[in-house]
Every structure is written in structure tokens, then in C-alpha cells.
Structure 1
Amino acid sequence: MARHDHTHFHGSCTCGTFSFETRKAPVTRFVCHCTFCQDFTGQAFSDVSVLRSRQIVMKGTEALVFTKYRSLPPNLNRGRCRRCGKPAMETMRAGPQRLVFIPSALFTEQDLLPPIRLHAFYNRRVADVADDLPKYERYWPSQFAITRSIMGF
């Protein structure tokens, strides 16, 4: 059985140039099916774990290349490792807080991650997903669901 109160996680990009260590468990985890995530990851969706910036210590961020995929909210800066070319992290400001989105596959302690809570932008899915998780379609319902999940509602 997975423990979701585990507080110490590690991980890295494929080549190890970018690495991280957390001080707390991710605040939430969700799957995004938006076309920006599809483009950024090269996959049908992105499974991300969200942390507040004060919860995570990162090394090798100077080796990341950041791209903004749009100028309107949520205005994520998406970082890819220069060496291996793989997605490493995404950041955004949410009021006074800075949030960090880490691809869940980068965590070493996979079985201790919190469970996926929802699917966002499900109307952009490449294929149907057979699970019982809530599936939100379109921009505002997806954004509100993600925000509620981050805030712990």
C-alpha cells in the first residue's frame, strides 16, 4: 500500500544532469491532455506531480532550456534538459506562490507518490482512458479542477 505522507523524494531527468530532492510530498498529481503538454512531452498526456517551490531543492537548473507555450494563464515555463532533451520541470506563479510541476516518471520513489487525482483537458485526449478518475474538459473546468486539487479541495 502506498504511503502518501512520505516526505523525502528524489529524482532526475534521464541523463541525471537535472536532479531534485523534496522536503514534502507533492501537493497533488494529475494528468493533463492539453495540446501544449502533448507537444512538450511528445506523449499523449503529461502525468505531473505539483510542489510548492519551497518544498523542492533542484540541481542542474542551469542546464535546462525554458519555453513558454502561451502568454495567457496558466503561463507555464516548461524546462527541458539540454543534454538528454527530455522534459524536466515546469514552473508558474500562482499569486505569491511559485509552483513546480515535475513529470511524475522522474521520481525515484514511484510507489510513494500520491495517486493521480484527475484528468484535465480531457477533450484533447488522444485516446480514451479507462479509469474512475474525474475527467474535466475544456479550459475553465480543467483550470478550476487543477486549482482545487493544488489547494487541497
Structure 2
Amino acid sequence: MKIDGSCHCGAIAYEAEIDPAQVRICHCTDCQVLSGTAFRITAPAREQDFRLLRGEPAQYLKTAESGRVRIQAFCRDCGSPLYATSAGEGPRIFGIRAGTIRQRRELTPRCQFWHRSALPWLPDIACAEAFDTQ
């Protein structure tokens, strides 16, 4: 599926080709903090299927519990989180933040990762199979 999107202020725009069946929810505590809410919804895109159309995102390097370094990309003007990807060489997957995707109403998450960290007051998300970790 072809998607496009932008940050809130429009300074950064992108397009990508994704598989809608791969859209996922992450309940990990990092995603809660980095998104400023209860969980994050992500649409993965291979590096060759993602293209910036306008602007250059700011980057924050986050080291995961596993020791892997992840690039968190966001708009330096409005602060919108745009995507995360691995640092370094090799084929990368861009985890596009669903809130920035124009077609987000068409994307239903199919799985939930790190469900053991889900906030207890969240209602059941029946459309997405839940896994305690990744």
C-alpha cells in the first residue's frame, strides 16, 4: 500500500510503500515516553520503500535495553515523531509513526508487542493479537 504523510507543521513530508498487515502496536515503556501517550502504532517500511519528500528530520539516538542503538526521527520545528530505524550499516526498516500517515484510518494494527507493559486501564484491543515481549 502506498502511503504519504508529514509532521504537524508540514516542514517534513514523506512517502512509502508498506504492508498494512504489518502495522503494529508497541506498549513498551520507551514507546510510552517517546510518544507521550499509552502506546505507539507503527507501520514498518523497508529502507528502499521510504522516501523523504521535504525537510530533514532531527535525530535522537536511543540505546535499547538490548544495547541496540535506534534512531528516533522527529521534526525540529513542531516535535512530531516521524519514524525510528536502526543506526549503522545494513538494510534498515523504518518504523513510521502512524499518527503522521495521511491514510491512518485505513490501517488496523494486527499485533501488539510488549503487552506486559500495557497500562492496566486500557480497554482490550481485540483486532490485534498480544505478545508479552517482542
Q: TM range, normalised to the smaller chain?
A: 0.7 to 0.9
Q: 1:119 aligns with which of 96, 112, 115?
A: 112
Q: Secondary structure at the match of 1:116?
A: coil
| 2:84 paired residue number | 90
Tell me the distance in 2 between the aligned counterparts of 1:17 and 1:125: 32
Q: Secondary structure at the match of 1:57?
A: strand
| 2:132 paired residue number | 137
Q: 1:53 aligns with which of 47, 51, 63?
A: 47
The structure that is helix-richer by fraction is: 1
Tell me the distance in 1 between the aligned counterparts of 2:46 and 2:55: 16
Q: Which runs of 5+ in 1 are unaligned?
A: 1-5, 143-153
The structure that is strand-richer by fraction is: 2
Tell me the distance in 2 between the aligned counterparts of 1:135 and 1:71: 21
The one-letter amino acid of 2:8's match is T
Q: 2:28 aligns with which of 27, 34, 55?
A: 34
| 2:71 paired residue number | 77
Instruction: Check 1:65–1:25 CA distance in 2 against 1; reply closer, same or farther (3 A cut).
Output: closer
Instruction: Check 1:20–1:26 CA distance in 2 against 1; reply closer, same or farther (3 A cut).
Output: farther
After superposition, the CA RMSD in angstroms is: 2.4
Question: How many correspondences in the alignment?
Answer: 131
Query: Is structure 2 residue 12 aligned with structure 1 residue 18?
Result: yes
Q: Could you state the TM-score of these two structures normalised by the residue count of structure 1? A: 0.74
Instruction: Check 1:73–1:120 CA distance in 2 against 1; reply closer, same or farther (3 A cut).
Output: farther
Tell me the distance in 1 between the aligned counterparts of 2:75 and 2:118: 26
Q: Could you state the TM-score of these two structures normalised by the residue count of structure 2? A: 0.83
Tell me the distance in 1 between the aligned counterparts of 2:14 and 2:130: 30
Alignment check: 8 A CA contact 2:35 2:81 kept: yes
Cα drift, residue 74 of structure 1: 4.9
Cα drift, residue 112 of structure 1: 3.6
* Aligned-pair identity (%): 22
Q: Secondary structure at the match of 1:40?
A: helix
Tell me the distance in 2 between the aligned counterparts of 1:120 and 1:63: 26
